[in-house]
Amino acid sequence: MRYDHLPKGLRVECDGPVRTVVLDRPAELNAVDRALHRGLAQVWRCLARDLDARVVIITGAGRAFSAGGDLDWITSFLDDPVARDESLREGAEIIEEMLRFPLPVIAAVNGPAVGLGCSVAVLSDIVLISETAHLADPHVTVGLVAGDGGAAFWPLLTPILRSREYLYTGDRIPAATAVELGLASRTTAPDELLPEARRLAHRLAAQPAEALRGTKRVANMYLSQALSGALQTGFAAEAATMRSPEHRERLLAFAGKARK
Q: Select from 217, 3, 231 the least CA-distant residue to 125.
A: 217
CA–CA dist 227, 123 (Å, integer) = 12
Task: Tell me what percent of the residues of the chain surpass a pLDDT of 90.
Answer: 83
Average pLDDT over the chain reads 94
CA–CA dist 64, 66 (Å, integer) = 5
Pairing of strands 10-15, 18-23: antiparallel
Q: Which H/E stretch holds residue 35?
A: helix 34-48
Q: Starting at the edge strand that comes first in sequence, how are the strands of the sheet with 55-60 ordered?
A: 10-15, 18-23, 55-60, 105-109, 126-130, 186-188
Indicate the range of 1-5, 110-114, 195-199 predicted with least confidence.
1-5
* 68-81 tens-digit pLDDT: 999 999 999 999 99
Domain ranges of the chain: 10-205
* 129-173 tens-digit pLDDT: 999 999 999 999 999 999 776 888 898 899 989 889 999 999 999
Residue 172 exposed, middle or buried by CB count within 10 Å (0-12, 13-18, 19+)? middle
Phi-psi region of 109 (alpha: psi -120 to 50; beta: other; left: phi over 0): beta
CA-to-CA dists, residue 231 to 63, 77, 155, 173, angstroms: 30, 21, 12, 23
What's the rounded mean pLDDT across residues 17-33? 98
Model pLDDT, residue 182? 96
Cβ 77 vs Cβ 96: under 8 Å: no
Pairing of strands 126-130, 186-188: parallel
What's the rounded mean pLDDT across residues 213-232? 88
Farthest CA pair distance, the chain: 53
- At the fourth CATH level, which superfamily is domain 10-205? 2-enoyl-CoA Hydratase; Chain A, domain 1 (3.90.226.10)
Amino acid of residue 100? R
Task: Tell me what percent of the residues of the chain surpass a pLDDT of 70.
Answer: 99
228 band by pLDDT with thresholds 50, 70 and 90: confident
94 band by pLDDT with thresholds 50, 70 and 90: very high
178 band by pLDDT with thresholds 50, 70 and 90: very high
pLDDT above 80 (res 259): no
Q: Select from 155, 150, 125 the least CA-distant residue to 136.
A: 150
How many CB atoms within 10 Å of residue 185?
Answer: 17
What's the rounded mean pLDDT across residues 201-224? 94
pLDDT above 70 (res 38): yes
Model pLDDT, residue 260? 67
